[in-house]
Structure 1
Amino acid sequence: MKSVLALTFCVYTALLAACGGGASTSVSSGVVTTVAGLNLSGTAATGMALSGAPVNVKCRTGSSTTTTASDGGFALTITGGALPCVLQIINPADGKKLHAITINAGTINLTPLTDMLSTRLMRGDMRTIFASPDAAAIEKTVTAAAIKQAQTDVSLTLLNFIDVSKLPDFYSTPLKAATAANTGGGDVQDKLLDALKAKMSVAQQTQALELLVRAIAVGQPLDNP
């Protein structure tokens, strides 16, 4: 009888994550409450992985910060977080900020392409948008259809420099970046970022961002002198 009672107690408490594994919980005044967490992870790179770079995220509710690993990888858990979220990374080498917007949990990369895509979606300077995100405006603007069109616009803008039209999704396509320890270890997306960095000057990348903000429709690619 005692063993039956013990088993029953363990089965019951397992539902409260007390008999091994399960969701994170907190206990207050005898009430057990599950603590929900929004998980985001990805890779930050400009061709080479951005190592030791601060990553910040602001969501409809909740925020978090972390630092990238040597391969540019990062992972964030926003306790009680709710989508949408805006992410920002600061490149330690030059202080440049890159951004991304996500309407889904899971993978979200941070690259010059995500920065351009986010700029096109919001039609504004992402540094300003990140400083004070408007979740309602983001939710209204950033839809699956809008992301697809914005990616087409970015692809056309860059056509005279690189062809990124075959990259399925700037935001969540798995990215393996080259590192200082393995300079040739990057994947296809990483090599596109290398080409973008080599073929576009800082001034041209700024011009591309300005075009993506202003243009009602992107009718022709940015000039490549």
Structure 2
Amino acid sequence: MLKELFNYWKKVKRARRISRARKSIPPYLLKEFETELNYKLWSTKGARFSASHRTGTLQRLSSQCVGYLSAYLIIVGLVNVYELNFWKITLSNDEVNFASVSLSVLILLFSQLETAENFVLKSHRYHDCSLDIAELYNALRYTKTYESENADKGKILQEISEKYDKILKRYENHKPIDYERFQLIKPGYFKLNLRKRLWIDLKYYCIVYFKYHLLMYGPLIIFMSVNLKRLILG
């Protein structure tokens, strides 16, 4: 009796494992080649557009950040020239010189690192890639709609697939966050609840915006915090 129950339990457990494995497979892989290719073109096109927007945003934030840091550098350099006292903070000549040199080094290093990323070129490349894939996607949709009875349909699909592979080899791959950002356009299709959507937005902010906002507004926040602390403590 116990042996039969044990064997039954093993069968149930095995059935559950198989069911979970099937559910973990993307739905488009369970269908025919045409549907799989259609999904690949559609999702990659959207992810590359998202990547183009992300890198364009990074370029804009990078330029703004250099501008903010340069402004801080000029302001710090003028403190002792005009004998200014910032609210509750009085800076000595050594402190002003140290702050000026530190900001200069930070701006130089930051500018070199950001220039090496070449966000403008990456944004254009991602955009060009998405346009190339969009052409294949339109060709596939046309074939699916108007050439469903064509005897050479399989050959046409194979040619589209080969062109798609060649396009992927010519361009840099997008980041995982780009695909996740693309999913937010169709949350119902990708079954994204509110928690998942908020999590993707938070990750996107940390990856794209956080570093620049920290450098742009961090010094001002620190300055205000120190002054408020001294006002409160007297």
Per the normalisation by structure 2, the TM-score is: 0.25
Per the normalisation by structure 1, the TM-score is: 0.26
If each structure's strand is expressed as a fraction of its own residues, which one has the higher value? Answer: 1
Please identify the structure whose Cα radius of gyration is greater: 2
